[in-house]
Structures are given as structure tokens and as C-alpha cells.
Amino acid sequence: MIMKIELTDENAKLPDYAHEGDAGMDLYAVESVTLQPGERKLVGTGLKIQLPPNTEAQIRPKSGLALKNGITLLNTPGTVDEGYRGEVEVILINHSREAYSVEIGQKIAQMVIMPVTRVTVEKVDHLEDSVRGQGGFGSTGL
């Protein structure tokens, strides 16, 4: 499969896989921003993408950034739909107690390309019973 990419900023870097077999490609910041504790900001990647047919791009946090600095994505995974042609941007949030500065060229997220399955929605009067039923939050124990 081929994903076409347009670079829209002089600081933009193509996403890349850090290791053979990795699921996610690293995404890089094209701007410097400082996140105060509890603050969220939209950070650009300088990328526009054209996904292969029947796929989506999921934008996910970098585990090291989250563990070491308390920086993660506010909506995760974020979804980039196949037909979207705007810049891929990342909503970062600072969950730490200290300000954190993102530098140009820094890894800020990862992008995983996933297949999309579309369904036909059918309205019914009742759903079939299941073993689980309505058991939800904590119903299987902690």
C-alpha cells in the first residue's frame, strides 16, 4: 500500500518507522510550543496525507513522552479519515506539574494505518440476548 504525503512546512519531516516491525510511524512537530501544567495545544506536523483506499490513520501517543514527561494526546486515538486532505495536527496535553517545551523536529505522536470496515445500520425493536447482557463497567471484577 502507498500513502502519498505532501509537506506543507519547511520544518516538516516524513513520518517514519523507528524499527523494523513497528506498527506506528513517528510524527514530528513543525513548531515550538510550551505547554503549562494542564494545558492543551494543537501542534502541527506539516503533513497532508492521502491514505490508501479503505484505511484510516490513527494518531496515538508516544509512550516515552507520556511516561517521562506526562505529555499525551487528548483524544486518542485520533482518527484521520481517508478523504481528509488538511494538515495532520496533534492535540497535546500536559498532565505533569511542570511546564514542558516541544521543539521543532521533536517526535510528538505516532501514526498507525488501519483498515476500515463499514457496516449497514439496521434499526430493530430488540437485540438478541447474550451471556454478558448489560454487564458493563467492573462487571467482570477488578
**8 Å CB contact between 21 and 71:** no
The response to whether 80 counts as a known ligand-binding position is yes
The response to whether 79 counts as a known ligand-binding position is yes
The response to whether 94 counts as a known ligand-binding position is no
Beta carbons within 10 angstroms of residue 44's beta carbon: 19
What CA–CA distance (Å, rounded) separates 75 from 53?
A: 24
Q: Please give the grid coordinates belonging to residue 111.
A: 501514526
The response to whether 75 counts as a known ligand-binding position is yes
Binding site residue list: 75, 79-81
Binding site residue list for substrate: 75, 79-81
